[in-house]
Amino acid sequence: MNVLISIKPKYVKKIISGEKKYEYRKKIFKKDVEKVYIYSSSPEKKIIGYFEYNGYKKGSPDEIWAITKETAGIKENEFKRYFNNKFVAYAITIKKCVVYKKPIDPYLENSDFRAPQSFMYIQGWV
C-alpha cells in the first residue's frame, strides 16, 4: 500500500534539497505503507515524486520539535501554529526521495482525482 500526501510547494522544495527530513502530520497512516507520494499543492498541483516510508516519530508537539528541529525544514513558529491545541504530533521520516523528471498531473491521469486534505491511500495508477 502507498499513500499520497499533500505538501505546500515551499516545503516540497526543502524536501528535494534535503533540508527537510521530516513531514509533520496531525494524523498518521493506519495501514502498512511502502512509499509516500508527494502531491505539491496549489499552484503546482502535481505529483513530483515519492520517498520510501521509514516510519514516524510520535509525541507531544514539544517533544517532536525537540527531536526534529535541526532538520525540520520549517520554522518553529510555523510548526507551533500547525500543532496549536494538539496533544499529539507525528513526524514522518523522509528517506531516499525520488523526484520525477516530469511531474505527474493527476487530473489528467484520473478525471475524478481530488487532492487529499492530508493523505489518501493509493494503488496502481501512480
CATH number of the structural domain spanning residue 108 = 2.30.130.30
Number of domains forming the structure of the chain: 1
pLDDT at residue 109, rounded to an integer: 83
pLDDT at residue 124, rounded to an integer: 58
Yes or no: say if 24 and 91 are a contact pair by the CB < 8 Å rule. Answer: yes
pLDDT at residue 90, rounded to an integer: 98
Q: Whole-model pTM above 0.85?
A: yes
Please, which residues have CB within 8 angstroms of residue 108's CB and are 6 or more apart in sequence?
A: none
Yes or no: say if 75 and 111 are a contact pair by the CB < 8 Å rule. Answer: no
What residues of the chain score a pLDDT lower than 50?
Answer: none
Residue 81's SS3 state is helix
Measuring CA to CA, which residue among 34, 73, 69, 72 is closest to residue 55? 34
Containing structural domain, residue 15: 2-122
